Structure 1
Amino acid sequence: MSTQQNFIPAVIYARYSSSGQREESIEGQLRECHAYAKHNGFTVVGEYVDKALTRTDKRPDFQRMLRDSERGIFKAVILWKTDRFARNRYDSAMYKYKLKKNGVRLYYAKESIPDGPEGIILESVMEGYAEYYSENLSQNVKRGNYDSALELKTLGVRVYGLRKNADDHFEPDPATAPIVRRIFEEYSKGERAKDIVERLNAEGYRTATGKPFSKTSLPMILRNEKYLGTYVYKDIRVENAFPAIVTRELFDKCQSLLTRHHRSPAANRDTQFLLTSKLFCGKCGEPMTGDGGTGKSGRVYNYYTCNGHRRHKCDKKRVGKEWIEELVLSKLTEIVATDGFIETVADKVVEYQAANTDHRALRALERRQREVEKATANLMKAIEAGIVTPTTKSRLVELEAEHERLTRSIAEELMTDATLERDQIVWFLERFRDGDVNDEAFRAFLVDTFLNAVYLYDDDNLILVFNYSGNNNTVKLKAAETALFKAKSSGFNQLTLPLEKLPKTA
């Protein structure tokens, strides 16, 4: 029975990028994560692995993990380090939001980030430095790619219908170039893209990645100027860089048909409720979660509803999503910009880090290294005194080998030590003051990093609790006096309106 009660289903996510940097192998990441799971009472129910991929949106197993999280299969994701999740803090905020909404938490095998408000800040700082590293690496890679593009190199890009020749330049592929030409010709004659795709798949043809053709494959092929023999990379554009597969006349005709057939689909995005898991009813203490509905006019209304109210145990009225989110964000950005706030948070994070970082493994290695050094020194004294036997020689070799192993292990522990200096934390947190508050990803990251909880009371006043412990971590807010509205033309403007005029409920 106890085993069932302690059962915490978890999955492991591992990623390796092939940009040339020295990183842990996939096998090493999985080994470390499995050891972490065993030590901390998790039961691993699955693994998600992406190899040689860095862009979050393009990682197939990462996206599969996000989808699976909606099914309630697991409650935790274990990663080797923070930079395995995302090296862009905006992506990180949005994907954490999705996992959190599905009741899933993140854990890191090689970085000590225990529970607690300061731990959230520390995690954000680590992600920020991972992004900084990634940006520097990206700049170096881009610089190398640009130099190669000046020589019209393929840059490792695969294009259906083309292949790489001995000089790393594009040339038509005898096996697939005729299929590309056929696609252009059939589409130019009025064939529907859907019918062309079905025929290609039925005949056994596959894309450059080995997958069946889809409704998105054809437009990508039909719009690709490389089939005209044109090389394009950033501001580099060279006509007739390699033999064309289709004529300019055929290409232009297909572009005209694509424009005529194109219909911009309405945006199909799930509404993002920024305060999910942060907003609580001040009357009964239950979480307030996102909901929506459509009025008679067809207008969509989004709001937060007390979970106690949903169960008919609380009479707290629902509150308009935009009203409460803009109100909280306006106060949050104001407080973050206040003199001394960043320094106070940084001090708390440093204290928290010192109290929670586990250096026991490192200290044990250092202690054993000192013991080996002492034993080696004693043995050397014996040898100098003339006590030389096969045993002393063998023991000296063993001690020297152990010292080498310990030195390497200590270096590895120091490399994975997540401890940050105070000035590093301040430098990172200062960057929040320059963010675009109208950007959805930045808003999510701001709330996820600094905001611990929001309590909304019957008189529409709020209490904001921030992610650091101790004094002055809560702010009482009178909604009627500090309401902010998002102006379409000029961002945020402060308005002071009577409470009854605020569009707070749907």
Structure 2
Amino acid sequence: VSTHMQEELSPEAQVRLLKEYASANNMIITQVYQDLGISGTKALKRPGFQSMIADCKSKKHPYDAVLVWKFSRFARNQEESIVYKSLLKKENVDVVSVSEPLPDGFIGSLVERIFEWMDEYYSIRLSGEVKRGMAQKALQGGYQGRMPLGYCKKSSAAIPSIVDDEAMLIRRIFHMYIEKKGNPSDIAIILNKEGIRNKQGHIFDAKKINYIINNPFYIGKIRWNYYNSSLKSFNTDNDIIIADGKHEPIIDINTWEQAQALYKLNKEKYKLRGRRRGNAGMKHWLSGILRCSECGGPMTYGKNAGRNVSVPFFQCSRRSKGRCTTSSYINAVKAEQTVLNALKEITSGKKINYKKPGISETDSETASLIKLELAKLDSREKRIKEAYINGIDSIEEYKENKLAMQKQRNFLNSQLEKAMSCIQNVVAAGYEENIHKSIDNVIQIIETRPEAYIDIGAALNEHVSKIVYNKKENHMTFYMY
């Protein structure tokens, strides 16, 4: 037995009909399995159904048949229906629909397949109608989902209202993100150390911080169809709906734009230098950046405890696990001094070899015009999607319009790539000057505030991807970007 808002019979009525059928056919019902309020499209998400299958497969053989009001109560997915019915058949358990009697012989099997196909078609059609309705609600500023941190709803139909203490936390997170140049790991560590938890009572992590920073709900917008739970992936911008909401924003536009610019910039750096922990969770400013030349593994910071004094050091983290055969041990004070001397040498005017990330902020006039046309194209795509959702255009018309716009987008992107490549050489000199200034800043912090390892690590990460230490040659190689 299961239920759905579109069905005409309640679960109680279904059970009554099953009992009447059993009584009329000399059957005894010993157990009723129910999945109340759960869709029948995914068998693995139905605990009642799974429990029934497990009982039917048991050695005790407790049942000879499974009674359902309709075959759609067993499964709405034809593939799953065939699989589970075959499984039960091996256990000599029949599936009987009390409202859909089947004729004997191969005709009965054919009719059963037709019922299954109709149930799946109904499910697909219903899903499409529900999705259209949800999309229309989103376009009208209606929010569908769990309230994010900072808001609450007094009823399902009420407009989300601000929770003052949570709103203060959201503003603090945005300001910390800007102050710390977009490092979500550091923010999460600081909040967790203070005992602050999210709306569900869980600790923060970089993923949760990034979700807050990227959630337009905090500037009064509604975002719908952002994530595909079935594929466990984020949808493309063309499939996401963002509309003006009816709720009061917590974050002002200026703060929002600063945070988004930082997020975009750090995303480009992330692609270039790879995954790395935030500095607030590290024991030393060289943690995570100093690498072993033998295996490429990270050098771990530790201390040798003597009788009167402990000696800090770095050693390859993989050596203790037997994954690296070379000892890359180096005294931490020596490592710090070597790095400082190397940084000073870099800023002495020598030519720097580095890998520069793609240019994102400097545009030529041509590139700016092309980007403007791409933005207009985004608006047009949203309009044709709205026309399809509202039933103005057919699916064929929608596909035709989308294909034409995709061709135009491909052309504009190719022109933009050519325009951006023309200004690479113009920007290179200014970028190298920026590296020098950044390294000068690192040197100043090391010499004036050596205890500020979080600030030193953050400043060093701006343009140093990694430092590889070769103990045999007593040499460090800097990888710049």
**TM-score bucket (shorter structure):** 0.3 to 0.5
- TM-score, length-scaled by structure 1: 0.35
Higher relative contact order structure (alpha carbons within 8 Å, sequence separation ≥ 6): 1
* TM-score, structure 2 as length reference: 0.37
